[in-house]
């Protein structure tokens, strides 16, 4: 795969690790969480769970993962997840167990060990949409270190790409290896790097991160992007610089699949509106909105975000009018 990265000198010192979410915001906004509060809580069953086999414990950080993975089973009750309907069998149970494995704080439990857990482990990574997005997978296994962020795997004939870092597990590593491993790990920004070093060692993939996002624990990433791009990775991928959430936040545009991996630049909400996570902004909301406007020029139909919900549009017009509507709502168009 041809790449056109600009090289950067490793600076003598890097900023200490800091993120946009290690703040005591409380649980005001589903999809994010309060690390400080989570660490103090117990693994006890929340009373808000319906009686039965599956339950969520008190350590739930309200990251929203289980609710979009298995919406028939999990709901937000009193600012945390809870089981509101026990999964019966088949797909419902499989999705509930996929959520159990993906929960960043391992807050989902069953009363007895699930007999089919190994079978469910083998379902990862999970195709996003086998027909519309062949070769695009959701990795699951969210990490508390990346605030529960979602990561992806793109299987591509010229080398697979991981987008952001899942929690490191050998089960997932073996499955990814069976799909051809990874040549690159694209990191959208500093918050969602989780176990990047373990993945890079295990899969021998080169990590790509904007130099403005590099911190002590990412000082040795193989490819540091300088400037404002765009950068191409072979003929099918473009890295788009979209600062605002953080100074060097970037998106990966998979052109043939019309898919944009957005990190925390923009995501859908459960009600289909958009969010740019203002309360977790680390750089400039105005700059972020400017860079949301920039997305009008890109021909994509899918948003696959780090936090928040996915979005799919039926055509460019629908995508652009949704973005314009969002920008107008923010007084930015
Ligand atoms: Zn972030």
- 269 and 147, same structural domain? yes
- Whichever domain contains 115, its CATH number is 3.30.70.20
Tell me how crowded residue 333 is: count the other CB atoms within 10 A of its CB.
Answer: 14
What are the pLDDT digits (tens) for 215-224?
999 999 999 9
pLDDT in tens, 144-172: 999 899 999 999 999 999 999 999 999 99
Is residue 103 domain-shared with residue 134, that is, in the same domain? Answer: no
Query: Based on the domain organization, do 249 and 205 belong to the same domain?
Result: yes
Specify if 197 maps to a domain.
Answer: yes
Cα 189 to averaged position of ligand 1 atoms, centre (Å): 7
E strand or H helix at 140, and its extent? none
Distance 303 CA to ligand 1 centre (A): 16
- For the chain of 333 residues, list the mean pLDDT of each consecutive stretch of 10: 44 58 43 50 89 96 94 96 94 97 96 96 97 98 94 97 98 98 98 97 98 96 96 96 98 98 95 90 96 97 96 96 96 87
Q: What is the pLDDT of residues 107-146, one digit of tens each?
A: 999 999 999 999 999 999 999 999 999 999 999 999 999 9
The verdict on 205 and 274 lying in the same domain is yes
Other beta carbons less than 10 A from residue 331's beta carbon: 7
Ligand 1 centre to CA of 144 (Å) is 13
- CATH number where 214 lies: 3.60.15.10
* CA distance linking residue 307 with residue 143, whole number of Å: 12
Last residue of a domain, one of 100, 121, 142: 121
Domain end call among 101, 121, 141:
121
Residues 110 and 135 in one domain: no
Residue 294, CA distances (Å) to 109, 165, 215, 289, 290 in order: 43, 26, 27, 9, 6
Do the domain assignments include residue 296? yes
Report yes or no on 5 lying in a domain.
no
Q: Which domain holds residue 100?
A: 35-121
91 and 62, same domain (yes or no): yes
Q: How far is the CA of 50 from the centre of ligand 1 (A)?
A: 33
Q: How far is the CA of 306 from the centre of ligand 1 (A)?
A: 8
Give the total residue count for the chain. 333
Q: How far apart are CA 290 and CA 308, in angstroms?
A: 20
Q: How far is the CA of 276 from the centre of ligand 1 (A)?
A: 10
Neighbours of ion ligand 1 (CB under 5 A): 20, 191, 264
Same domain, 156 and 84: no
Task: Tell me the CA–centroid distance for residue 160 and ligand 1, in Å.
Answer: 24
Cα of 68 to ligand 1 centre, how many Å? Answer: 19
Q: Which two tokens stand for residue 12?
A: 């003598």
pLDDT number for residue 272: 78
Distance (angstroms) between ligand 1 centre and the Cα of 191 equals 5
Number of structural domains found in the chain: 2
Distance 136 CA to ligand 1 centre (A): 22
């Amino acid at each position: 795969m041809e790449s056109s990265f600009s090289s950067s000198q490793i600076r003598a010192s890097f900023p200490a690790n800091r993120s946009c979410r290690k703040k005591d915001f409380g649980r005001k906004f589903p999809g994010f969480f309060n690390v400080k509060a989570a660490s103090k809580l117990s693994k006890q069953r929340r009373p808000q769970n319906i009686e039965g086999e599956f339950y969520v414990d008190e350590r739930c950080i309200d990251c929203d993962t289980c609710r979009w993975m298995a919406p028939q089973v999990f709901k937000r009750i009193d600012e945390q997840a809870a089981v509101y309907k026990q999964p019966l069998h088949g797909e419902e149970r499989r999705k509930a167990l996929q959520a159990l494995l993906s929960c960043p704080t391992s807050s989902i439990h069953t009363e007895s060990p699930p007999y089919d857990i190994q079978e469910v482990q083998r379902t990862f990574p999970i195709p996003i949409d086998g027909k519309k997005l062949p070769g695009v997978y959701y990795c699951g296994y969210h990490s508390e270190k990346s605030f529960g962020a979602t990561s992806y795997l793109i299987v591509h004939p010229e080398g697979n790409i991981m987008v952001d870092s899942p929690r490191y597990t050998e089960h997932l590593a073996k499955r990814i290896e069976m799909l051809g491993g990874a040549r690159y790990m694209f990191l959208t920004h500093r918050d969602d790097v989780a176990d990047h070093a373990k993945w890079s060692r295990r899969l021998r993939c080169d990590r790509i991160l904007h130099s403005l996002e590099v911190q002590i624990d990412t000082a040795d990433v193989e490819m540091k992007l300088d400037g404002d791009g765009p950068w191409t990775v072979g003929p099918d991928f473009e890295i788009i610089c979209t600062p605002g959430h953080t100074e060097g936040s970037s998106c990966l545009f998979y052109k043939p699949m019309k898919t944009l991996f957005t990190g925390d630049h923009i995501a859908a909400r459960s009600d289909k509106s958009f969010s740019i996570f203002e309360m977790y902004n680390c750089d400039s909301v105005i700059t972020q909105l400017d860079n949301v406007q920039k997305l009008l020029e890109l021909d994509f139909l899918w948003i696959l975000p780090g936090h928040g919900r996915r979005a799919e549009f039926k055509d460019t017009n629908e995508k652009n009018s949704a973005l314009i509507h969002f920008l107008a709502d923010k007084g930015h168009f």
